[in-house]
């Protein structure tokens, strides 16, 4: 993975301002509003991005939701999918452009595979075909869509990209994860829905995967993957299409289940590798929520500093489903130097099922940069 680009919609809204929108939409009384604001304050989120400006406006100035008490008639699936189709393509293009700016030596015409990932919208001909036209990709580019798998889907996209590169060494794979989670606000007083409404934001991330490291700057080699299921969590994290958008179930038991399963998942990932957990100093964990991050720290003996990239993404963006772990990897990439070459990076993501995904990445640099570092080190020793 040679570069990661990201993009967010223009509407960046403070978390407590979103809480005020939710309290109004749900027609909560004073006590209910206080409880809701407390939930938003402890979420670990300060801002979220959305394609809908309504979340930062009072009733009477809405563009998507009805300007009525209780937002009736509440928007249905068709209206939400129409909004997804309007916004998904331009956001995806911005993320790709941000990615490709980091790789001036790579032409878009050289892309051999395109993988699109999303669980927040569907249509056909879809985002993959629209991206081919918008980016000027070759019409024969091989397209794959990973849909409706939830927050761990970027890992499946990277598995596919890795397989393509192993099968065809000169493959260049463009992975694009685009999620417009805020289209799916559920007007419900159930605890699961209140939590979901408090966590999710909108964003897109694009990554370029090829067999060789980038000419300049750090890359991340996709070294190993392991997936597991916690069947007892089948009903605790789920994603269903209903009459009023896509309905997320995220129970309070999820952090505990992840805590119980994450140690075994890590052992299985590393079992056949010359790497132990104690050797790993860099982590890129999907910030599904503050309690999930804390549960993983307790289970694996990590610190909040180990998890700093995940907390930063959660604070500034919330949970953007599949795109989120790529944001964490982006921030980690920015801190790497040639001296980190060969260092292992441990990454996790989670989703419906309850699905636990783990991957081990290795920091890589082009030969020229590594050789230059070695020459510099020799000069230091000589002097």
Marked catalytic residue, from 151, 165, 177, 181: 151
Angstrom distance (rounded) from CA 241 to CA 216: 44
Query: Could you tell me if 196 and 248 are in contact, meaning their C-beta atoms sit under 8 angstroms apart?
Result: yes
What's 304-351 look like in SS3? CCCCHHHHHHHHHHCECHHHHHHHHHHHHHCCCCHHHCCCEEEEEEEE
The number of beta carbons lying within 10 Å of the beta carbon of residue 56 is 16
**Burial class of 92 by CB neighbour count within 10 A (0 to 12, 13 to 18, 19+):** buried
Angstrom distance (rounded) from CA 16 to CA 137: 42
Angstrom distance (rounded) from CA 132 to CA 248: 30
Q: Does the active-site annotation cover 151?
A: yes
Rg, C-alpha atoms of the chain: 21
Report the catalytic residues.
Answer: 151
């Amino acid at each position: 993975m040679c570069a990661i680009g990201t993009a967010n919609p223009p509407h960046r809204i403070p978390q407590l301002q979103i809480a005020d929108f939710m309290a109004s939409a749900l027609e909560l009384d004073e006590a209910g509003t206080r409880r809701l604001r407390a939930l938003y304050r402890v979420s670990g989120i300060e801002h979220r991005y959305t394609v809908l400006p309504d979340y930062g406006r009072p009733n009477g100035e809405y563009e998507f939701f009805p300007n009525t008490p209780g937002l009736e008639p509440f928007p249905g699936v068709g209206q939400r999918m129409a909004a997804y189709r309007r916004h998904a393509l331009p956001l995806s293009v911005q993320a790709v452009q941000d990615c490709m700016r980091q790789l001036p030596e790579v032409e878009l015409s050289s892309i051999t595979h395109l993988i699109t990932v999303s669980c927040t919208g569907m249509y056909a001909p879809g985002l993959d075909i629209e991206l081919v036209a918008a980016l000027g990709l070759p019409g024969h580019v091989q397209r794959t869509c990973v849909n409706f798998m939830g927050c761990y889907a970027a890992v499946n996209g990277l598995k596919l990209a890795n397989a393509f590169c192993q099968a065809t060494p000169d493959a260049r794979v463009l992975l694009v994860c685009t999620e417009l989670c805020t289209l799916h606000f559920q007007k419900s007083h159930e605890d699961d829905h209140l939590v979901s409404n408090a966590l999710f934001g909108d964003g897109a991330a694009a990554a370029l995967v090829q067999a060789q490291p980038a000419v300049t700057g750090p890359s991340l080699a996709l070294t190993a993957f392991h997936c597991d299921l916690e069947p007892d969590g089948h009903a605790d994290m789920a994603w269903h299409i209903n009459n009023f958008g896509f309905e997320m179930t995220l129970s309070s038991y999820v952090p505990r289940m992840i805590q119980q399963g994450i140690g075994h998942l890590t052992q299985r990932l590393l079992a056949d590798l010359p790497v132990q957990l104690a050797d790993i100093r860099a982590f890129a964990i999907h910030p599904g929520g503050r309690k999930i991050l804390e549960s993983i720290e307790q289970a694996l003996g990590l610190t909040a500093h180990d998890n700093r990239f995940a907390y930063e993404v959660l604070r500034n963006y919330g949970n953007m489903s599949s795109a989120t772990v790529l944001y964490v990897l982006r921030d980690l990439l920015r801190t790497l130097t040639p001296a980190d070459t060969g260092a292992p990076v441990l990454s996790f993501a989670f989703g419906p099922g309850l699905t636990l995904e783990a991957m081990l990445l290795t920091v890589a640099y082009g030969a020229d940069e590594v050789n230059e570092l070695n020459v510099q080190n020799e000069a230091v020793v000589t002097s």
